[in-house]
């Protein structure tokens, strides 16, 4: 999602919405009242991200809140094709000369317009935890969030109130990098008082590392052409940790696939 944000920022920051084309009345939910009119003519002052939500701050004092859902994606082009894809639902024609196209096959994404003054109270955003790549996110913050939690550590990491925007794949990758089992109790990385143990330090470092590498792969795929996940979707393969004799196994946790090594992840 951070890679998407950067692509949109390059096309939209400082640019004006010259035209807004909406090709259907709704996505997951109906578009807000006067959606096209409220956007047209406004200038983009910032393109931000909060967890998996994209936030476009406008000169009108409103913020365009967007979520990709399960199948949504943005494409930035200099010219529109003569025939649009049937699933190209929204097109922003920017004064920068760029066309920003939102395509969503399953229509689980959404767009909304919210007053910047009310953004902190917006239902989808107000309960989110810290951003994992923020300077303020550290072992102390993570330990405090999981203190007393009896849920498995992997489930805690997917709780958006604990850490925002860490998805299933990268939770598995981070746990392997930190040599922590996804099935251990979440509270074990904190002391009884909520202070971080060494495991919390390792885990926060690993989270930042795997997310930073993921963004780099998106931004420069030619440098990572042969790169693979360390554990995700590698069931039955040898553990990639040096000198570990283990094999990657797959287990289901809360309906999601978890991949890990039972030998080195404790």
pLDDT single digits (tens) 59-102: 999 999 999 998 999 999 999 999 999 999 999 999 999 999 99
Confidence of residue 157 (pLDDT cuts 50, 70, 90): very high
112 and 191 in a common domain = no
Mean pLDDT of 149-173: 95
What's the CATH code of the domain at 55? 3.20.190.10
**Does residue 72 belong to any structural domain of this protein?**
yes
Mean pLDDT of 235-249: 97
148 and 111 in a common domain = no
End-to-end alpha carbon distance in the chain: 30
What pTM, to 2 d.p., does this model score?
Answer: 0.84
pLDDT single digits (tens) 88-140: 999 999 999 999 999 999 999 999 999 999 999 999 999 899 999 999 999 99
113 and 6 in a common domain = yes
Residue whose structure tokens are 């992997």: 154
pLDDT single digits (tens) 167-223: 999 999 999 999 999 999 999 999 999 999 999 999 999 999 999 998 888 766 555
Instruction: Note the pLDDT of residue 254.
Output: 84
Instruction: Note the pLDDT of residue 165.
Output: 87
**Does residue 169 belong to any structural domain of this protein?**
yes
Cα 110 to Cα 181: distance, rounded to the nearest angstrom: 35
Query: How many domains would you assign to the chain?
Result: 2
| Domain coverage including residue 77 | 2-121
Lowest average pLDDT, out of 154-158, 214-218, 229-233, 236-240, goes to 214-218
**Does residue 266 belong to any structural domain of this protein?**
no
User: How many of the other CB atoms lie within 10 Å of CB of 155?
Assistant: 18
149 and 40 in a common domain = no
**Does residue 246 belong to any structural domain of this protein?**
yes
146 and 80 in a common domain = no
What's the CATH code of the domain at 192? 1.10.8.50
202 and 91 in a common domain = no
Instruction: Note the pLDDT of residue 223.
Output: 52
241 and 160 in a common domain = yes
95 and 33 in a common domain = yes
171 and 76 in a common domain = no
Query: In 3-state terms, what secondary structure has residue 208?
Result: helix
**Does residue 90 belong to any structural domain of this protein?**
yes
- Yes or no: say if 103 and 89 are a contact pair by the CB < 8 Å rule: yes
**Does residue 131 belong to any structural domain of this protein?**
no
Instruction: Note the pLDDT of residue 224.
Output: 47
51 and 92 in a common domain = yes
Query: What phi and psi, each to the nearest 5 degrees, are found at residue 112?
Result: -145, 160
Question: Which residue, 73, 93, 121, sits at the end of a domain?
Answer: 121
169 and 237 in a common domain = yes
187 and 106 in a common domain = no
Give yes or no for residue 225 having a pLDDT over 60.
Answer: no
Write the DSSP string, 9-35.
HHHHTT-BEEEEEE-SSBSSSBPPTTH
């Amino acid at each position: 999602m951070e890679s998407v944000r950067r692509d949109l920022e390059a096309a939209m920051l400082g640019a004006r919405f010259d035209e807004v084309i909406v090709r259907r009345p709704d996505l997951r939910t109906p578009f807000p009242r006067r959606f096209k009119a409220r956007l047209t003519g406004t200038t983009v002052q910032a393109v931000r991200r909060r967890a998996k939500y994209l936030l476009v701050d406008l000169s009108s004092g409103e913020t365009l809140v967007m979520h990709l859902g399960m199948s949504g994606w943005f494409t930035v082009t200099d010219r529109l094709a003569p025939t649009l894809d049937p699933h190209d639902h929204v097109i922003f024609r920017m004064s920068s000369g760029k066309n920003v196209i939102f395509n969503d096959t399953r229509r689980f994404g959404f767009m909304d317009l919210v007053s910047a003054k009310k953004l902190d109270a917006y239902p989808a955003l107000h309960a989110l935890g810290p951003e994992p790549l923020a300077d303020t996110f550290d072992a102390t913050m993570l330990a405090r969030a999981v203190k007393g939690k009896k849920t498995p550590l992997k489930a805690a990491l997917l709780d958006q109130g604990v850490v925002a925007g860490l998805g299933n794949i990268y939770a598995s990758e981070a746990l392997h990098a930190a040599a922590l089992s996804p099935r251990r109790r979440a509270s074990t990385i904190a002391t009884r008082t909520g202070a971080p143990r060494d495991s919390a330090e390792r885990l926060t470092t690993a989270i930042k590392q795997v997310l930073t590498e993921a963004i780099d792969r998106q931004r420069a795929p030619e440098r990572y052409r042969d790169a693979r996940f360390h554990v995700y979707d590698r069931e039955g393969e040898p553990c990639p940790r040096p000198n570990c004799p283990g094999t990657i196994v797959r287990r289901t946790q809360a309906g999601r696939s978890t991949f890990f090594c039972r030998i080195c992840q404790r």
